[in-house]
Amino acid sequence: MRTPSRTGTFVLAGLLLLAGLPARGIEDQVTLYTPSFEGPPALASSVSTVLNLQIWQTLRRKPARGPADVSFGKAVVVWGGALGEYSHKAAESRAEDVSLLAQMVFWGKVYEFGEGAIAQTHLSVPEYKDFRAEQPERWVVRVRKAEEWIEISADIPQRRYSFEPIPLTREVIAGYSHPGALLMYSGPDGGNVVGTVGNEFTALEQHADGAKVRSGKITGWVRLPRLSAERNGVVDFVGGIVRVFRGDWDGVGLLMGRVIANDTAPNEIRTDAFLYKGMAAARQGKPSEPAFAEARKLSPNARRCIVYAVLGKLWDYSRLQGGDTGAKRELLRDARRLLEESAYLFEPDDPWFSDTMTKLGRLM
C-alpha cells in the first residue's frame, strides 16, 4: 500500500476488513482520495473525517458469506491537503498524481447557511488508464459468432457527481465546531475519553456506529454522528461505486438498493443507482431488466439508461450460448428495437450507437 508523502496525509487502512475480485497472485487496489474540505477549519475537518470513516465502513475484503479464497482485493481511503481550486477538473488532476493514482476523489466544503450550516459534496471519477490488472467497472459483453468474438462494452454511467447539500444538525454544528471535537473513547460503545483525533490517523477496525482509530500514540474508538436529520444517500452511493470498481456485485446491489429506497435522494442519483443495481444483478445471473426499466422511468431521456438496458439484453444473450435459439433471437430483436426507438437520444455520429448497431446486425 502506498501512502503519499505530502504533509498531513493519512490513510484509512484496516485492509483485513476490506474487499474485491476473485483471489489472484497480485491484488488490485482501488483508492478513494479525499482532499480536506473547505470551510470553517474545525467543522469542515470534523465533517469530512466523519464522511470518510462512514465510507470506509462500507468497504469489505470478501463477501459476508462465501468461499474462503475469494477476495475483492485492496481498497483504501486516503486523506490529503486542499485542492487549491474547487472544481472537478482540479480533483481529477489530483487523482492522477503518480504518488496516488486514485480511481476517484470525494471532495467538498462546509459553509454557513441561514442560522445553520450545510455540507456540499462531490465525486470525481477521472477517466485514465491506471495500474489495475482488471477493471470490473467497465461492462464488457463478449459473444461468439462462428469463429469470431464480438465485443460490446460500456463505461460507467457518469464520472462527475455533485450531491444534494447535507443540512447539518444543530448538534453537529455545536459539537464539532472547535478543535479536538472528535473524541476517542476506550470502548466501541463508550467508556472513558482517551484522546482526540488529530490531523493524522489510521482507521483500524469497523463498528456499527463508529471506528477504532490510532492517532499519534493513542488508540481509541470514534463515534460517528448522524450529520443530517434525514438519511442521505451520499455515503451509500459512493461506497457502492467503490464496490463496482472491486467487482463486489452482491455488495453493489445492497448499497445501491439503499439509495433507491431513499425517497429524498435526487432523481439523477437514484437513476444511476438503478443502473448499477441492474448491472450487478446481470453479472450474478439475476434478472436485470426490472432495474433498467425503473431507471428509464426516472430518466426517460438519458442516453446512459438505453446503453445499460441494451448491455443487459446482450449479457443475457451471451449466457445462452448453445441454448434456446428462439430466446436468443428475441433478446437480439429487443436490443435492436430499443436502440432504434431511442436513436434520437444519441448524437448522429455517436460511435457507440453505430458500432453496436453494426455488431447487432452481425449477430442476427
Q: Classify burial at 65, counting beta carbons within 10 Å of its beta carbon; exposed 0-12, middle 13-18, buried 19 or more.
A: exposed
Distance of alpha carbon 336 from alpha carbon 356, whole angstroms: 9
Q: Each residue of 153-189: pLDDT tens digit?
A: 999 999 999 999 999 988 888 888 887 888 999 998 8
Of the candidates 71, 103, 55, 30, the residue with the CA atom closest to the CA atom of residue 203:
55
Distance of alpha carbon 309 from alpha carbon 331, whole angstroms: 11
pLDDT at 215: 84
Query: In terms of pLDDT, which residue wins out, 107 or 144?
Result: 107
Query: In terms of pLDDT, which residue wins out, 277 or 64?
Result: 277
DSSP 156: -
Of the candidates 183, 184, 55, 170, the residue with the CA atom closest to the CA atom of residue 107:
55
pLDDT at 12 over 50: no
pLDDT interval class at 244 (50, 70, 90): very high
Q: Each residue of 275-320: pLDDT tens digit?
A: 999 999 999 999 999 999 999 999 999 999 999 999 999 999 988 8
Q: Each residue of 318-360: pLDDT tens digit?
A: 888 666 688 888 999 999 999 999 999 999 999 999 999 999 9
pLDDT at 152 over 90: yes
Q: Which long-range contacts (CB under 8 A, 24 or more apart) does 325-333 make?
A: 329/364, 332/360, 332/363, 332/364, 333/364
Looking at domain 248-363, which CATH architecture does it have?
Alpha Horseshoe (1.25)
Total Cβ atoms within 10 A of residue 180? 11
In which element (H, E) is residue 112 found? strand 104-113
Query: In terms of pLDDT, which residue wins out, 343 or 135?
Result: 343
- Averaged pLDDT of the chain: 85
Where does CATH 1.25.40 sit in the chain? 248-363
What is the pTM for the complete model shown? 0.86
Q: Each residue of 184-218: pLDDT tens digit?
A: 999 988 889 999 987 677 788 887 778 888 888 89
Residue listed under C-alpha cell 470513516: 53
pLDDT at 230 over 80: no
